Structure 1
Amino acid sequence: MNEEQVGRRRVGEAVLIAGPTASGKSALALELALATGGIVINADSMQVYRDLRIITARPTQDEEARAPHRLYGHVDAAVNFSAGAWVADAAKALDEAKTEGRPPIFVGGTGLYFKALTAGLSVVPPIPAELREDVRARLERNGAEALHAELARRDPRAAERLNLRDRTRIARALEVVEATGRSLLDWHREGQPPLLPKDGFRAVFLAPDRDALYARIDARFDAMLEAGALEEVERLSARQLDPLLPAMKAHGVPALIRHLRGELTLEQAATIGRADTRHYAKRQFTWFRHQLPAFEWVRPEEARRWLATAVNAAWESK
């Protein structure tokens, strides 16, 4: 793409670039931002954490300096950052783009963030910190099955939908019903409107060949280790944060922490990290296909042509 293909600084619909991890989304978003004068806005739930630049393959400092980037590395790992918090930050980034006359370019792989942008988000009141800590202490002391049994008594509908081993969601459902007296399912039915109107965006999902993608995931994990991912995780581990925090569950982090504790060899930890990332990519394909039908699926090698056509046509119509 060049400035003639996508008219520079034309402001119109937002561009949403999604896809599985390691599909080339960030590079494509940067190229589009350079061609249009746009602002790249992060829509990846792990790349918000400042502690996790390498292990989450966040854009480099040089890449961030080439075009405006927002919502990258702006949250401390000790924060239980939520989709609602991201929506609030994304709304500010959208306002900034509008004020500066720059097209907003959302890029990432977190389906819930894109769903919040395009379809709205349920609103759950903030959970008191002491209640959250109490639920997590009970989880560590009694185990997930005991907490699931407790949830089944308080909120049987939510409990029925949760796997007995899904520690994080069990704890979340229990803390919501204890704090609000209402089921998390009820809160999900009542939400806030989307940030983008139905005719206010063009959305693409990069869909590479699975085998090629998995090979790229494996190679990228090895490259991240060579770039200092283990040292990054070591610094994070030294903070002794709650293992249930989102940042502590980023792909590769738990296994590398086990290696640092002497429980796994580095190769064993890397094998787990690669496998976890491949499984996540598979879930991303499934989630976007069923939850976000408005996204047009294209192969990565066709994405530049798609953007040059779809984005230019949309902006010239304004």
Structure 2
Amino acid sequence: MAPHRLYEVLAWQERASAGWWQRALQPVLEEGWQRRQIPILVGGTGLYLRTALTGLAPTPPVGPDLLAALARRLEEEGAEKLHGELAAVDPVLAARIAPRDRQRILRGLAVFRATGRPLSAWQSEAGKTAPLKAAAAAGRVAGFVLWPERTTLYRRIDERFVAMMAAGALEEVRALAAADLDPDLPVMKAVGVRPLLQHLAGELDRAAAVAIAQRDSRRYAKRQLTWARHQFRGWTRVPVALQHDETEALAGHLERMLGEAGAAVARWLAGRTGEGTGDEDLPRR
């Protein structure tokens, strides 16, 4: 089995971000290239994949005290008022986000207060450090989207959550509740956590909690497909039936599709390690 990287690397109390992932990804890619391996980026977080290809604004870190103060103001004064403040200092960013988009309003104001520079100005510099930008521009990145039939996908999502419950999902959420974590942490907002917390608090019975978690999972999958449709238009769609015995067939299908691209990337890797020119044309996929 191929080694997995950047998987289960953060504690519950830590926050992931597209910027953190971009910085963590670069040395992993370099290590793989040095070993003449072809990195395969897998996941459903479209923003992270896009960050690897196009980059992210090099904004400086914002202090926790400033973030906490702005978060309190959000709770006390409401998102729409702070959106108005954002419009006064960063009209470009404010025009792009909804007046009730709490997280992005908070981020925009925090960056301006910390740096004296609008976040939109920082964002205009995105792309300078994108880990895969050069490779993508040269046609050295092959993108694939698994494209299941919607009804089958939703059925499998429902089945998966039932299996997760049988495998201990409720006990894991019970441990989260016992840890008394900040409810604003990403782990506390993971799909399925909230209804299970409500069940543990006696606010929902088990069946209702499972049904809500399944519904939220289906909605998330729909958003993923919508993102892929609009953001990854040049990627190859791979139709899958999501049958339980389809793993080997899917692997074979991808292997055939990657055959030409894989051979070309191998030639490119040889160039990076001094075993070739590195100037070979690679197919665009």
Shorter chain as denominator, the TM-score bin is: 0.7 to 0.9
Matched residue type, 2:13: A
Contact 1:258-1:269 at 8 Å conserved across structures = yes
Q: Which has the higher helix share?
A: 2
Moved over 4 A (4+): none
Listed as ranges, the matches of 1:245-264 within 5 Å are 245-264=185-204
**Would you say the 8 A contact 1:84–1:121 is kept in 2?**
yes
* Structure 1 position 236, deviation (Å): 1.5
| 1:165-314 pair list within 5 angstroms | 165-191=100-126, 192-196=128-132, 197-198=135-136, 199-300=139-240, 303-314=250-261
> RMSD of the TM alignment (CA)?
2.1
Q: SS of the residue aligned with 2:93?
A: helix
User: Do 2:79 and 2:99's aligned partners in 1 also have CA atoms closer than 8 Å?
Assistant: yes
Shift of residue 186 of structure 1?
2.4
Q: CA deviation at 1:93?
A: 1.2
**Distance in 2 between residues matched to 1:255 and 1:92, nearest whole Å:** 38
Deviation at 1:74, TM superposition (A): 0.4
How many Å apart are 1:207 and its aligned residue? 0.6
Q: Distance in 2 between matches of 1:295 and 1:189?
A: 25
- Rounded to whole Å, the distance in 1 between the matches of 2:205 and 2:229 is 37
Asked if 1 retains the 8 angstrom alpha-carbon contact of 2:22 and 2:130, the reply is: no
**Cα shift at 1:154:** 3.8
- The equivalent position to 1:82 in structure 2, one of 17, 30, 33, is 17
Provide the C-alpha distance between the structure 1 equivalents of 2:86 and 2:263, rounded to a whole number of angstroms. Answer: 53
Give the % identical residues: 44
Greater relative contact order (Cα < 8 A, sep 6+): 1
Residues 155 and 183, structure 1, Cα contact 8 Å, conserved in 2: yes
Which amino acid is 2:179 matched to? Answer: R
Give the letter aligned to residue 173 of structure 2: V
Cα distance between partner residues in 2 of 1:268 and 1:160? 39
Q: Tell me which amino acid in the other structure corresponds to 1:314.
A: A
Partner of 1:117: 52
CA change 1:143–1:228 in 2 (3 A) is farther
Unaligned stretches of 5+ residues in structure 2:
242-248, 268-285
Farther-moved stretch of structure 1 (305-314 vs 221-230): 305-314
Which structure shows the higher strand fraction?
1
Equivalent pair of 2:191/2:213 in contact (CA under 8 Å): yes
After TM superposition, the score normalised by the length of structure 2 is 0.81
CA distance in 1, matches of 2:119, 2:206: 39
**Counterpart of 2:79?**
144
TM-score normalised per structure 1: 0.73
CA distance in 2 between partners of 1:303 and 1:276 (Å): 27
Does the 8 Å contact 1:151/1:174 carry over to 2?
Answer: yes
